[in-house]
Amino acid sequence: MKLCLFMIIAFIGIELSAAKSYYISSQKENWFIAMGACHFKGYKLASIETQSDFDNLWYKIGNSGEKFWTSGTRLGQAYAGYSDSSKTFYWMESGRYFSYANWAYGQPDNHNGNQACVIVDGANGLKFDDAGCLDNEFRYICEY
C-alpha cells in the first residue's frame, strides 16, 4: 500500500514537472522586449524543446495564423558558414542547444544576414523560422 501511494505521488510529481503553462501575448514586440516582458511577469520566453512542448502549443495557437517569438536564438554564436543549425541555435532561457527542431522548409535562412531569433509561424504549421530580433515585432509566448 505504501509503495502504491509513493508511486502515485511520484507519478503526479512527474506530470506536474513536465507540463508547462503558457501565456500568449496580444502585444507585439521585438525579441528583446518580449523576453523582458515575460521576465517582468515572472515567466520565461518559451523554449520548445520537445514534441510535447510543441503539441501543447499547437493546441493553443496552431491555427492562429500569427507569428510568435520563442527564446530560440543564435545570438553570440559564430553562425556564418554553419550548415548544421542544431549546433548554432540554442534556447536562451534553458541554455540548451536545439535537439528538437521543427524548421519550416528552407529555414533557417538568415535572410539579409540578420535573422538570429526564432519564431513559430501559426500560418505554417507552427514551424520554426529565424527572424530579425530587433527589426520585427511579433506576439510572444511566455512559459511558467
CA angle 119, 36, 46 (to 5 degrees): 40
- In the complex with Ca ion, the residue whose CB is nearer, 55 or 109, is 109
49: contact with Ca ion by CB under 5 A: no
130: contact with Ca ion by CB under 5 A: yes
Give the whole-angstrom CA distance, residue 60 versus residue 48.
Answer: 14
- Counting Cα atoms < 13 Å in the Cβ hemisphere of 39 gives 9
* Per-residue interface string for the shown chain with Ca ion, residues 76-115, x marking contact by CB under 5 A: -------------------------------x-x-x---x
Helix H or strand E encompassing 40? helix 31-40
C-alpha cell at 2: 505504501
From candidates 129, 133, 140, 143, binder to Ca ion by CB under 5 A: 129
121: contact with Ca ion by CB under 5 A: no
Binding site for Ca ion (CB under 5 A): 107, 109, 111, 115, 129-130
